[in-house]
Chain A
Amino acid sequence: MIRVVLPAHLRALAKVDGEVRVSCAGAAQPTQRLVLDEIEARYPVLRGTIRDQATGKRRAFMRFFGCEQDLSHESPDAPLPEAIAAGAEPYLVVAAMAGG
């Protein structure tokens, strides 16, 4: 299971507490796209709030981190770090610090 940490405003929107655990069962190697597809399938209210619905691209002020790395500019189809795929480290969806 992959552990996903959503920012507070999206946890409130999706009505979840704490980490969300998703499975990318069937995928040889989990990717950011597969994780976010799974998140949006389970919580349809999050569609469009992390990625643009038309283009599928990351929204400008949303960032992705894991294993002390900024994954925001990685290919969405690149394999996730092993520690995230194994559930040892969480995949972090972060709202950029901007504005008030």
Chain B
Amino acid sequence: MTGVRVLAGTSKGAFVLTSDGRRQDWSISGPHFGGWEIYHLKGSPADPDRIYASQSSGWSGQVIQRSDDGGQSWQAVGNKFAYDGTPGTHQWYDGTPHPWEFARVWHLEPSLDDPETVYAGVEDAALFRSTDGGNEWHELPGLRGHGSGPSWQPGAGGMCLHTLLLDPSRPGRMFAAISAAGAFRSDDAGETWLPVNRGLQSEGIPDPDAEVGHCVHRIAMHPSRPDVLFMQKHWDVMRSDDAGGSWHEISGNLPTDFGFPIDVHAHEPDTIYVVPITSDGEHYPPEGKLRVYRSRSGGDEWEPLTSGLPQRHCYVNVLRDAMAVDSLEECGVYFGTTGGQVYVSADSGDTWAPIVTDLPRVLSVEVQTLP
């Protein structure tokens, strides 16, 4: 029987949660790298034994770990992230120029077909690539250098490149999302980039046609239909049907359209998931009820998924990188909370159960579907 391996990054270490295809009984290992912040772990689609992890701390900075045996053992690889050339400046919170400074790796995105190639989205926002299994990292400077970089500003969590989507059908096409700059697309493997934010409306930006400055929290695509993108923005859930060329709102009947993660069902390209959060100042679910909302129509029409989730006195958040789906025949959906719970649904969201309930604050959740 096939199985799954869930990779949970937390504020005090990494945890590896494994189960067979029923996804009812779980083995839990960890904490790996106890005491360190693990912003993200992700396995290679080309080799599930290859996993990359971003390990960092306020004291000792960034470390990158690599496993070649599915998370049983790890080795530290390269951690030198030097911006290309003279880094220049972006805007600080008060609008003054601020030098680009590396803080941490938020997101690791392994190549779809080469286990040795992996991308790193970092704070201050930039994209790096390694082609030797994480030993050496080089910036793809066309993103910061495409023109609008000096006008980018950080969001409340820092100026981070937190999402990278690789188009499986069009080699070289990729999408990046940056808080609080927006979404960007490259058609040449990251050499050159264009902002793709037309149609986004953001409170606080007076220009309705602003090219950048949008606080995009997450973007998602289904691999079979990569021109359709879904976005959870600071406020608003959005959709693009032309690879980011234009966006329209699909918040529909959501109780609030603020939130962080968004993901797509593994086998139904129009089934999407969000976790509505009360507001930008109140990072917890409305009414203290933890509800995943699912749309089976590509947006606008949403249904709350509550079975197995706490429906009273729940005031956790679900961060942007903390939701994932597996690709088993009955799609599994996973998310982690700032209260340390990791939940699984083995039936596309109809019912939920906790895998673990008392981890440190969950920063990221990924899942590997194992052969």
A interface with B by C-beta (< 8 Å): 7, 9-10, 12-13, 45, 47-50, 52-54, 59, 61-62, 95-96, 98-99
Q: Is the CB of A62 within 8 A of B80?
A: no
A49-B63, A59-B59, A95-B60 given; A54·B79 CB < 8 A:
no
Q: Closest CB-CB distance, A63 to chain B, in whole Å?
A: 10
Contact of A61 among B35, B59, B80, B82 (CB under 8 A): B59
Chain B interface mostly: loop
Say if the beta carbon of B61 comes within 8 Å of chain A: yes
Chain A interface mostly: loop
In Å, the complex CA distance between A45 and B135 comes to: 11
In Å, the complex CA distance between A62 and B60 comes to: 7
Which chain B positions have C-beta within 8 A of A10? 60
Q: Is the CB of A45 within 8 A of B76?
A: yes
Which chain A positions have C-beta within 8 A of B35? 9, 12
Q: Closest CB-CB distance, B128 to chain A, in whole Å?
A: 14
Contact of B59 among A12, A45, A52, A96 (CB under 8 A): A96
Q: Is the CB of A47 within 8 A of B59?
A: no
Q: Is the CB of B59 within 8 A of A62?
A: yes
Contact of B62 among A9, A48, A50 (CB under 8 A): A48
Contact with A along B39-83 (1 / 0, CB 8 A): 000000000000000000111111100000000000010011010
Q: Is the CB of B80 within 8 A of A53?
A: yes
B interface with A by C-beta (< 8 Å): 34-36, 57-63, 76, 79-80, 82
Which chain B positions have C-beta within 8 A of A98? 58-59
| Closest chain A residue, CB of each to CB of B75 | A45
Contact of B82 among A50, A54, A99 (CB under 8 A): A54
Which chain B positions have C-beta within 8 A of A9? 35-36, 57, 59-60
Which chain A positions have C-beta within 8 A of B57? 9
Which chain A positions have C-beta within 8 A of B62? 48
Which chain B positions have C-beta within 8 A of A48? 60-63, 79-80
30 A-B residue pairs with CB within 8 Å: A7-B59, A9-B35, A9-B36, A9-B60, A10-B60, A12-B34, A12-B35, A13-B60, A13-B63, A13-B76, A45-B63, A47-B79, A48-B62, A48-B63, A48-B80, A49-B60, A49-B61, A49-B63, A52-B61, A53-B79, A53-B82, A59-B61, A61-B58, A61-B59, A62-B59, A62-B60, A95-B59, A98-B58, A98-B59, A99-B58
| Closest chain A residue, CB of each to CB of B36 | A9
Which chain A positions have C-beta within 8 A of B34? 12
Which chain B positions have C-beta within 8 A of A47? 79-80
Which chain A positions have C-beta within 8 A of B58? 61, 98-99
In Å, the complex CA distance between A7 and B76 comes to: 18
| Closest chain A residue, CB of each to CB of B57 | A9
Q: In the A-B complex, list the 8 residue pairs whose CB atoms are closest, starting with the nearest.
A: A49-B60, A45-B76, A61-B59, A95-B59, A53-B80, A48-B79, A48-B61, A9-B35
In Å, the complex CA distance between A59 and B101 comes to: 13
Q: Closest CB-CB distance, A20 to chain B, in whole Å?
A: 16
Which chain B positions have C-beta within 8 A of A13? 60, 63, 76
In Å, the complex CA distance between A31 and B82 comes to: 27
Q: Closest CB-CB distance, A44 to chain B, in whole Å?
A: 8
Q: Closest CB-CB distance, B73 to chain A, in whole Å?
A: 11
In Å, the complex CA distance between A7 and B79 comes to: 19
Which chain B positions have C-beta within 8 A of A50? 60
In Å, the complex CA distance between A53 and B60 comes to: 11
In Å, the complex CA distance between A62 and B61 comes to: 10
In Å, the complex CA distance between A59 and B80 comes to: 14
A9-B35, A9-B36, A54-B82 given; A59·B76 CB < 8 A:
no
Q: A13-B60, A59-B61 are in contact. List 7 more A-B contacts (CB 8 A).
A: A45-B63, A48-B62, A48-B79, A48-B80, A49-B61, A54-B80, A54-B82
